[in-house]
Amino acid sequence: MSYSLSVYRFVDGKPVQPDMDEVRAILSPCHAAPENVTESDTEFWIRAADGSEVEIDVVDCVIGIERPGIGDVWKIIVELADRAGGSILIPNGTLLCREDMRAHLPEGLEGDSTFVPEITLEAFERVAGPFNHPLT
């Protein structure tokens, strides 16, 4: 079974492209094939220190997270979402957002959102629930 998430950043009610310099700064140190990294990369194969892996693609205004393994790769995912000022769309339909993003969400999205001071692994686990993600 494949598990995927999306990370979005909103400004004034509209989705905006993530800051690719910030994305690369977060992901480059854990890129599984560092010899293939270029400044124009938008696709990343990430491997955490414990060997867990995830594929991350940046397309337009979406950071797509595909097939994350069980393990420390989740710490990288939540760091990416938090530092990039993004919100995680969890497969159960909930948008996990930093509180400072509330005013930037598109109209009508606030009701489907859970707001936290910062996106952390603990916040993600609370919102995603024990049966809605592969951490448990």
Instruction: List the domains of the chain with CATH numbers.
Output: 4-126 (3.30.310)
Tell me, what's the pLDDT at 50?
Answer: 94
Question: Within the chain, which residues score under 70 in pLDDT?
Answer: 1-2, 33-39, 130-136
Tell me, what's the pLDDT at 69?
Answer: 86
Q: Considering the entire predicted model, what is its pTM? A: 0.86
The neighbour count for residue 83, using CB atoms within 10 Å, is 15
- 111's CB contacts (< 8 A; 6+ apart) are none
Tell me, what's the pLDDT at 130?
Answer: 59
d(CA 62, CA 95): 13
Tell me, what's the pLDDT at 37?
Answer: 59
d(CA 10, CA 74): 22
Contact present, 78 and 66 (Cβ < 8 Å): no
